[in-house]
Structure 1
Amino acid sequence: MNMRYAKEEEIDDIKEIWNYCFNDEDSFVNYYFNNKYNNNNTIVACEDEDIVSSLQLNQYKIKLDDKEYETSYVVGVSTFPQVRGRGYMKRIMEYSLNELYKKNQIVSILMPIDYRLYRKYGYEHCYDQLEYYINIEDLKNFNLLGRMYKANEEHIDDLIDINNLFLEDVNGNVVRNKEYYVNLFKEVESENGHIYVYKDGSYKGYIIYFLNGDNMFVRELFYKDLDSLKSILKFIYNHNTQCKKVTISAPINDKIRFVLENPKTIDIKVKPFMMGRVINVEDYLNGLKINSDIELSANVFIEDKFIKENNGTFNIKIKDKKVKAQKIKGECNLYMSINTFTQLAFSYIDIKEAMILNNINKNAKNKEAIHLFELLFKKKENYINEYV
């Protein structure tokens, strides 16, 4: 079993595995391999020189706790059936994690097909979304105050402006620039989707949606104010001769449920969406700052079965509003897995929830470590909406 990066001329081999393992339309596959795929970010496993397993490490920039991190989004984890059950996934995941560590990346994200497959590698659930299921007739009484325009690349600056305002109160989102939206237009087009922008004096909202039979799926509905939201909901209703129902994905802090006339007729679900992982514990901690003059120190053991540099006891100190962490040999005040540490680092849970989930009781030995983590990690509302 040989692990390595893919060669430029092996794109057809990678595409063959992708097509075998995923049920994507040709138009989307062509979009992906023409616009997103990069052999320098593709790990392959070979048997007798034949590629039998692969994954991609697509590059994004995400913002955690107001700090930006270059991150790898693990996608396309795929293995031919003739070698499944022989440890290829374990080997390719372990190799990839250690490559990310060598590249000085601090965090990674992954959208799982099954959480059980990836928890063993240190990835843990860090993002949810709200999903609304609405009968389209329930939207008929809204009014479209401005006008809707089919969006194009000339609208990108306005889309960025709407995105930045709409997501200013969420954590963990991707930093979106012009290049991002150029790619997004191509991705949505490849799946026969639509992007419309709302204008009332200025551009104040946009919607990305797909028509699937009698259902409209809204991937994003971003808005600057409630009048813009209500106007876009009316735009959705104007599809009532084509669609009977609409499914809307939204951040946890979204306001749609507050403007609906009768929420009792609406199904609203929390949908698990994305996993995260801390790749470099020491660098992550050393990049933190806190708004407190307190001085505190504790030894915390992190268990990481795949990145040896993360596995062990770390002395974590808070002094002069900065954090200093270093790996040491010695006893620990608190033990946790890389999974739990990741959820704290992504602000998905706080230390009190971590204690409940891991059956940790507060005692004299771990009191300072718990207090230290209370200062370091605050729970926030996370949102991300990237598919590849």
Structure 2
Amino acid sequence: MIAKLLTKKDIPAAKKLWGYAFETDEPFYSWYFEEVFSPKNAVGIFNKGQLISYLQLNPYTIYLNGASFEASYVVGVITSPEYRNKGLMKILLPKAIEEINKRNHSVSILMPFDTTFYSPYGWELCYRQLKYTVPIDIVGHFASGEKYGNFHKIDINKDFEALNIVYDSFLKNYHGYVKRNRKNWDYILKDLQYYGGYACLLRDQKNNPIGYILYFLKDKKFIAKEIAYTNIKAQKSIFSFIYSHKSQAVAVQWSAPYNDPTQLFLRDTIQPEPTNNLRIYPFMCGRIINFKDAIENSSFSKDINFSFSIRIKDSYAQWNNNTFIIKISNGKASVKKSNTASADMVCDINIFTQLFFGAISIDQAVFLEKVTINNQAILKNFSKSFHFKNNYINEFF
């Protein structure tokens, strides 16, 4: 068996495997392999020249720790049925890590079908979302009849900059999100269109973009794939827009950042049972691919000035499997390997990835016994450097 990047001649085999494992819905199926899929971003395993397993490394730019990171989004992990449960992931995923590192992508994201499946390879859960399912009358009550601004169907050729203005404003207090470009938006809107969805932009009286909604109408449900707004008037106006579909839907479903406060202002009942259904669900895993590059690319508060040593355990990226000395000053960090046997802190790449992404705090990591602290004096400054953050991401491929 050989693990390598795919070439153009492998596209038909890759498409066939995707269709078997996932879907063949048209026009999405053909569009994806004509416009989105790129063999140079796919790592596969071949047996006697036959493609039997592969995954994709779709490139994105992610905002992490005050900086932009080029990242590989691992999607479409597929194995031909006759080769499943034969340990191919022990070949494919390490090869993917090696390839991502070659691309100088110091971090990776991955949407898991099982949050523990990829953990042995270093990907750990770093994102979660809040999912609402509520009667449409509840949305109408929250909107309070607000009708601010005007909606129109989104045209990517005219509205790309407007979408980004709203998106960036909505996420200004969040972390870990994708910095979307024209191609990202084009993929999102075409994906929505090919599955029968709709997209509307909200502008105020001065024609400034203040909100948008991407949605479906299905089985008497109004399903919002993404909602973004710049202020409360825009949010209420979007909810009023949703409520205007009360003759077509009885319930509304949408996802939001984990700490979204809307739940606190929706009319609900306590007895005999709650009216609204809110669920926290796991969404995306992250992985540090290159520890040194990830730390040195980050930005830190300029009032932090300290150094510490850390022992990182990483079975699948030997360049990370070392003791490092990290010095932080003037908002930046330097990372050097150390030959010393002891370290102030010891952990594996999984838990440090969660600390780096801000998914957990160092206090939580210590409580969970996921990290060993040999020098308690580093904790105060470490917690200032790598602290809990409000992560949000909403990309699906």
After superposition, the Cα gap between the structure-2 partners of 1:149 and 1:308, relative to the gap in structure 1 and judged at 3 Å, is same
Structure 1 alignment gaps of length 5 or more: none
Which of 196, 199, 207 matches 1:195? Answer: 199
* TM superposition shift of 1:360: 5.0
In the alignment, does 2:154 pair up with 1:171?
no
In the alignment, does 2:235 pair up with 1:224?
no
Equivalent-residue separation in structure 2 for 1:77 and 1:197 (angstroms): 34
Match in the other structure for 1:30: 30
In the alignment, does 2:277 pair up with 1:267?
yes
Contact 1:348–1:379 at 8 Å: present in 2 too? Answer: yes
Q: Structure 1 stretch 44-53 or stretch 170-179: which is displaced more? A: 170-179
For residues 129-168 of structure 1, the aligned pairs below 5 Å read 129-141=129-141, 142=143, 143=145, 144-153=147-156, 154-168=158-172
How big is each residue's C-alpha offset from its partner over 1:300-340, in whole Å with a ceiling of 9 and x where there is no partner?
Answer: 11111100010121122234543221122222222101010
How big is each residue's C-alpha offset from its partner over 1:4-35, in whole Å with a ceiling of 9 and x where there is no partner?
Answer: 11111211100111111113523222232122
Q: Structure 1 stretch 164-173 or stretch 252-261: which is displaced more? A: 252-261
Q: Structure 1 stretch 77-86 or stretch 133-142: which is displaced more? A: 133-142
Structure 2 alignment gaps of length 5 or more: none
Contact 1:298–1:368 at 8 Å: present in 2 too? Answer: no
In the alignment, does 2:94 pair up with 1:94?
yes
Contact 1:296–1:368 at 8 Å: present in 2 too? Answer: no
Partner secondary structure for residue 358 of structure 2: coil
Q: Give the share of equivalent positions with the same residue, in percent.
A: 33
Equivalent-residue separation in structure 2 for 1:258 and 1:344 (angstroms): 29
How big is each residue's C-alpha offset from its partner over 1:35-76, in whole Å with a ceiling of 9 and x where there is no partner?
Answer: 211110011101111000010000110100220011000000
Following TM superposition, the consecutive aligned residue runs of length 4 or more in structure 1 with deviations greater than 4 angstroms are 292-295, 359-362
* TM superposition shift of 1:87: 1.5
Partner secondary structure for residue 379 of structure 1: coil
How big is each residue's C-alpha offset from its partner over 1:169-195, in whole Å with a ceiling of 9 and x where there is no partner?
Answer: 000100012232222221111111110
Partner secondary structure for residue 26 of structure 1: coil
After superposition, the Cα gap between the structure-2 partners of 1:34 and 1:359, relative to the gap in structure 1 and judged at 3 Å, is closer
Which of 287, 292, 297 matches 1:282? Answer: 292
Partner secondary structure for residue 133 of structure 1: strand
After superposition, the Cα gap between the structure-2 partners of 1:258 and 1:197, relative to the gap in structure 1 and judged at 3 Å, is farther
Q: Structure 1 stretch 202-211 or stretch 124-133: which is displaced more? A: 202-211
In the alignment, does 2:318 pair up with 1:308?
yes
Contact 1:299–1:369 at 8 Å: present in 2 too? Answer: no
How big is each residue's C-alpha offset from its partner over 1:89-122, in whole Å with a ceiling of 9 and x where there is no partner?
Answer: 1211000101111221110000001112101110
Match in the other structure for 2:243: 237
Matched residue type, 2:386: F
Q: Structure 1 stretch 39-48 or stretch 193-202: which is displaced more? A: 193-202
Equivalent-residue separation in structure 1 for 2:11 and 2:93 (angstroms): 20
How big is each residue's C-alpha offset from its partner over 1:360-385, in whole Å with a ceiling of 9 and x where there is no partner?
Answer: 576xx321343442232121100000
Match in the other structure for 1:386: 395
Equivalent-residue separation in structure 2 for 1:319 and 1:223 (angstroms): 36
* TM superposition shift of 1:212: 1.9
Q: Structure 1 stretch 240-249 or stretch 253-262: which is displaced more? A: 253-262
For residues 1-80 of structure 1, the aligned pairs below 5 Å read 1-23=1-23, 25-80=25-80
Contact 1:300–1:369 at 8 Å: present in 2 too? Answer: no
RMSD (Å) for aligned C-alpha atoms: 1.8
Equivalent-residue separation in structure 1 for 2:276 and 2:24 (angstroms): 30
Equivalent-residue separation in structure 2 for 1:139 and 1:99 (angstroms): 46
Contact 2:301–2:385 at 8 Å: present in 1 too? Answer: no
How big is each residue's C-alpha offset from its partner over 1:190-219, in whole Å with a ceiling of 9 and x where there is no partner?
Answer: 111110112331331110011221122111
Q: Structure 1 stretch 182-191 or stretch 290-299: which is displaced more? A: 290-299
In the alignment, does 2:355 pair up with 1:344?
yes
Equivalent-residue separation in structure 2 for 1:250 and 1:24 (angstroms): 29
Contact 1:280–1:310 at 8 Å: present in 2 too? Answer: yes
Q: Structure 1 stretch 273-282 or stretch 176-185: which is displaced more? A: 176-185
Q: Structure 1 stretch 221-230 or stretch 135-144: which is displaced more? A: 135-144
Equivalent-residue separation in structure 2 for 1:240 and 1:17 (angstroms): 41
Match in the other structure for 1:373: 382
Match in the other structure for 1:205: 211
Match in the other structure for 1:326: 336
* TM superposition shift of 1:359: 5.5
Match in the other structure for 1:249: 255
Equivalent-residue separation in structure 1 for 2:82 and 2:372 (angstroms): 47
Matched residue type, 2:219: G
Equivalent-residue separation in structure 1 for 2:288 and 2:277 (angstroms): 34
Equivalent-residue separation in structure 2 for 1:12 and 1:280 (angstroms): 33
* TM superposition shift of 1:271: 1.5
TM-score, normalised via structure 1 length:
0.94
Partner secondary structure for residue 387 of structure 2: coil
Contact 1:304–1:337 at 8 Å: present in 2 too? Answer: yes
Contact 1:45–1:53 at 8 Å: present in 2 too? Answer: yes
* TM superposition shift of 1:357: 1.9
